[in-house]
Amino acid sequence: MAVGLTSKSLARLKTQGFQAERQTKGTLASVVRLIPPSGMSLAQAQRAVRVADAGATADFDHFYYTDGAAGCTGTGCEAVSLVGWNLPVARQCGPVPTIGLIDTGIDREHEALQGQSIEIVSGLQLRGKPSQRDHGTAVAALLVGRSGSSAPGLLPDANILAVDAFYRDGGTADRTDVTALVMALEALAEKNVRVVNMSLSGPPNEVLRRAIESAQAKGMVIIAAAGNNGAGAEPSYPAAYPGVIAVTAVDNKRDVYRRATQGDYIDLAAPGVDLWVAAPGGGGTAKSGTSYAVPFISAAAAVLHASNATLKPADLKAALESSTMDLGKPGRDKTYGNGLLQAANLCAPQADETPVAQSKVNVPPSIP
């Protein structure tokens, strides 16, 4: 993978036997996937790119995976409201922006998603077989599942622009790559999407980092899963990149998910253990993983943006970090970050409306 190659440098590489397999539009970063000539090692290929263009950045085309885990097999698997979410109050904050979702395929015929505002972006030239729809369906329903359905969402009135960036390539797991992720981010940037849910993780990659930085410079708030590799694992990306909001998962006792990756990059915690989520084909199942905590923070970011559309990504992140319940060691820590999201005061209700907390109607929180 190379980013920042000039057309002249690319032409020079082609004369050396390189083939350009895929290339992004360049909305965020001009990324090209290069196939080195036969007999050339990957390390030699990286050096050749650097020699051809000192201003370009080259890295491998790493794979990234969804951060869902096994389902719950015991009792008590229903979702629990831990963040003080109240849908009527959220609706008073104003129309929320379209939420970008980079994930697997989605079953829009699921009863929780029928009639909901979900637009699917296609045409990413994905290799391999189509992705499974389990993960994408679950995350989409957590965000916008229809009220009264088997899997109601946090913001059922919101719009989702979803990009299926995953595929199955010779195995059973859904995965994506750097090219597909950059193309997905570009598709969202072209639609002026401001909040992006990335319930996925993988290794660090310089090309992806450049694209993330470009997206942030355009005002996009990137919210990503902390990863499910355990407390002693290396940081997960894109969550660990500067400015990206890294989300870990907690259970109904506010204990961290046992498989959650920990580190200095963790920003916020949200429910993500034994959550009841929509399953493709109908009905639902209990799932755990940092993936399923991300929609809580994405929904909160959308509400904050609705109440103040001028907030810059850094200011929005700071506002979310200040709306937390401290968990674990006092102050920010490697396990919970700044703590568990508390959504009750994300925005002030309109002056001409009565806050739900002061009304005589007891409306239960709408938590999936």
The count of other CB atoms within 10 Å of the CB of residue 190 is: 12
Higher pLDDT, 215 or 77: 215
CA 198 to CA 246: how far, in whole Å? 10
CB 271 within 8 A of CB 82: yes
Distance CA 131, CA 137 (A): 11
Query: In this structure, is the dihedral angle defined by the CA atoms of residues 11, 13, 17 and 23, taken in order, positive or negative?
Result: negative
Residue 288 has pLDDT above 70, yes or no: yes
pLDDT at 91: 82
Mean pLDDT over the full length of the chain: 88
Question: In which order are the strands placed within the sheet that holds 2-3?
Answer: 19-23, 31-35, 2-3, 57-58
pLDDT digits (tens, 9 = 90+) for 162-190: 999 999 987 778 999 999 999 999 999 99
Q: Tens of pLDDT along 308-360?
A: 989 999 999 999 999 999 999 999 999 999 999 998 888 765 444 443 343 33
Residue 125 pLDDT class (50, 70, 90 cuts): confident
Nearest one of 269, 266, 286, 267 to 277, comparing CA atoms: 286
Taking 60 as the threshold, does the pLDDT of residue 239 lie above it? yes
Q: 16-71, pLDDT tens digit by residue?
A: 999 998 888 888 888 999 999 988 888 889 889 988 998 899 998 888 888 776 55
